């Protein structure tokens, strides 16, 4: 079980809760969130995400990760303009933040 910033993820049951309320995710959304939250505080490269979530070493579309990430952010109420859960580090990858930035939320 992973729990970071009010997001709880059960990898065995494949269930997610936000502040105690269950949120439904597609298979790929869940897999992407699982990789990110299980590495909270660490930068996960897009290459690693393509390998671990889509099981490929080539890019089927440059927008694949961004589209799924957008759906996840909407479901978790994480504003893409001022994210507090999942941040994008240009040229490096994505990071699930272990705690909200000061003044966020």
For residue 34, the model assigns a pLDDT of 98
Name every residue whose Cβ is closer than 8 Å to that of residue 4 and which is 6 or more positions away in sequence.
37, 40, 96, 97, 98
* Residue 85 within any structural domain of the chain: yes
Decide if 96 contacts 36 (C-beta within 8 A): yes
* Residue 102 within any structural domain of the chain: no
* CATH code for the domain of 6: 1.10.10.10
Q: What is the DSSP string of 34-65?
A: HHHHHTTTS-B-HHHHHHHHH--SS-S-TTHH
- pLDDT tens per residue, range 84-104: 999 999 989 999 999 977 665
For residue 103, the model assigns a pLDDT of 60
What band does 63 get if pLDDT is binned at 50, 70 and 90? confident
For residue 85, the model assigns a pLDDT of 96
Q: What percent of the chain has pLDDT over 70?
A: 90
Q: What is the pTM of this model?
A: 0.92
User: Structural domain of residue 22, as residue ranges?
Assistant: 2-96
Q: What is the number of domains present in the chain? A: 1
């Amino acid at each position: 079980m992973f729990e970071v910033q009010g997001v709880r993820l059960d990898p065995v049951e494949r269930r997610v809760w936000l502040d105690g309320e269950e949120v439904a995710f597609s298979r790929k959304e869940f897999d992407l969130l699982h990789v990110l939250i299980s590495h909270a505080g660490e930068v996960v490269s897009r290459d690693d995400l393509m390998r671990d979530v889509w099981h490929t070493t080539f890019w089927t579309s440059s927008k694949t990760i961004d589209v799924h990430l957008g759906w996840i952010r909407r479901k978790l109420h994480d504003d893409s303009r001022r994210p507090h859960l999942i941040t994008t580090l240009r040229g490096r990858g994505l990071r699930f933040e272990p705690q909200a930035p000061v003044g966020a939320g």
